[in-house]
Amino acid sequence: MTDDTRLAERSGPLSHIRVLDLSRIMAAPWATQILADLGADVIKVERPETGDDTRSWGPPFLRDAEGRTTKDAGYFLAVNRGKRSITVDIAQPKGQAIVRQLAAKADIVIENFKAGALARYGLDASSLRGLNPALIYCSVTGFGQDGPRRDQAAYDFAIQAMGGLMSITGERDGRPGAGPQKVGIPIIDLMTGMYAAVAILAALARAAETRRGETIDLAMLDVSAAILANQAMNHLLTGRIPTRGGNQHPNIQPQDVFACADGTFVLAVGNDGQFAKLCSVLGKPEWASDPRFSTNAARVTNNAALTELLGAQFAGRTRREIVAALDEAGVPAAPINTVDQVLADAQVRHRGMLQHLSHPIAGSLPQIVSPIRMQDAPLRFDRAPPTLGQHTRSVLGEIGFSETEIAALAAEGVV
């Protein structure tokens, strides 16, 4: 099946939408992967020869069907499913002209260059909207299009630190391993991508009514502040500065990691009823009426004493035994799975979260797919992350370039 045939057969709720993706790294590409999963035709513009920075962020790197290492890192493969890749040098006038032609036919443009950088090439929101008044233009940066930090570069790790997340993540002082800790995935990049996708979908809904485009300005530092959520509100209500609490929840107890005779597990009691069931499982029903523990507020206040009592109960039981008993009683508890255990979980497998897509070099490529499930407009995952420039000729052909013209552009280093 040709790429053009796949394009004609695309399904999903956004199968009528075309996205011009001028972004790289992770935050904005995560947004465009969401849109691609929803059926949008996403055209990813990359630098000739090198492409998106994340193609080289390895090891590990993808291996071809013969087991040879390719130039595509796992990092790139995690965030670029469903897209078509073309190479264009936007520093050259002819490259800029190609991007303008693509933008004229697009519904959405998304980019993550430094603030003001694309204006030098006439590829900023106002310039492209002159060609396409209904265009939705989303800019993703570290700090936004205005303000004293607008010209600074940013990466997820730095924003996790600057945005407060690391001040509340990690083991609490006085315990082994204490200290600030980043989240184990680039959570600010991912959440910025999620917010970008939400904003774009909202702009699409509005454009359907007004026929007017929109300019979206999304900053990673803003996102980091926004997702402080309950911790920020705790501070605003009390004036106290939240600190690292390890695995303990600051507002709900008991929620923590507890040690059993053969390992650890997570206990996540969410209300007084669940706490009473926990007490029953442990053979300590009197704890549920103890004024120190009978309400969540009391348990938060007296958490140190409660944690000590619970720890003594769990220490003599196996993890399988306690998790099974709590599960049967309706008390949220779970083992701490490794990544391979997650992917082997019967529920995860049943939901089809791991799929294998056809790939032009590797033959088959594993992918963790979108968790979105729609009954009437189901998502399809039939396009693997593209090789660099895989679709340059077909995309340029769609906007009127002949094979001779494309060959000349390639010879000049434009594509």
Nearest to 220 by CA among 27, 12, 19: 27
316: exposed, middle or buried (Cβ count in 10 Å: 0-12, 13-18, 19+)? exposed
Helix (H) or strand (E) holding 61: strand 61-63
Q: In the predicted model, what is the mean pLDDT of the chain?
A: 96
Residue 286 burial (CB count, 10 A): 9
Query: What is residue 62's predicted lDDT score, i.e. its pLDDT?
Result: 97
pLDDT tens digits along 75-84:
999 999 999 9
Which residue shows structure tokens 């220490």?
315
- As a CATH number, domain 3-226+348-411 is 3.40.50.10540
pLDDT in tens, 214-224: 999 999 999 99
How far apart CA 254 and CA 292 sit, in angstroms, is 13
Tally of CB atoms within 10 A around 70: 15
Q: Tokens representing 246?
A: 């390890």
Confidence of residue 233 (pLDDT cuts 50, 70, 90): very high
The residues of the chain that CATH labels 3.30.1540.10 are: 255-336
For residue 3, pLDDT beyond 70:
no
Per-residue pLDDT at 5: 41
What stretch of H or E contains 305? helix 303-315
- Catalytic one of 37, 41, 156, 189: 189
Q: Tens digit of pLDDT for each residue in 263-291?
A: 999 999 999 999 999 999 999 999 999 99
For tokens 């799929």, the residue is: 355
| Residue 21 annotated in active site | no
List pLDDT tens digits, range 318-351: 999 999 999 999 999 999 999 999 999 999 999 9
Cβ neighbourhood burial of 366 (10 Å; 0-12, 13-18, 19+): middle
Region(s) of the chain under CATH 3.40.50.10540: 3-226+348-411
* CB atoms near residue 58 (< 10 Å): 17
33: burial class by Cβ within 10 Å (0-12, 13-18, 19+)? buried
* Residues 101/75, Cβ–Cβ less than 8 Å: no
The answer to whether the CB of 60 falls within 8 A of the CB of 73 is yes
- Please write down the HEC assignment for all residues of 97-163: HHHHHHHHCCCEEEECCCCCHHHHHCCCHHHHHHHCCCCEEEEEECCCCCCCCCCCCCCHHHHHHHC
Report the DSSP beta bridge partners of residue 265: 258, 335
Token pair of 102, please?
């693509």
In the 8-state DSSP scheme, what is residue 68?
Answer: -
For residue 257, the surrounding DSSP H or E stretch is strand 255-260
**CA Rg, the chain, in Å?**
25
**H or E element in which residue 327 lies:** helix 319-329
Structure confidence at residue 9 as a pLDDT band (50, 70, 90): low
What is the DSSP secondary structure assignment for residue 264, as one 8-state letter?
Answer: E
- How far apart (Å, rounded) are the C-alpha atoms in residues 248 and 86? 47
At 10 the pLDDT is 72
Going by C-beta distance under 8 Å and a sequence separation of 6 or more, which residues neighbour residue 283?
none
The confidence score (pLDDT) of residue 2 equals 46
Cα–Cα distance measured from residue 71 to residue 349, given in angstroms and rounded to the nearest whole number: 30
Q: What is the CATH number of domain 255-336?
A: 3.30.1540.10
> What would the pLDDT profile of 364-415 be if each residue is shown by its tens digit?
999 999 999 999 999 999 999 999 999 999 999 999 999 999 999 999 999 9
User: Taken in order 104, 105, 108, 110, is the CA torsion positive or negative?
Assistant: negative
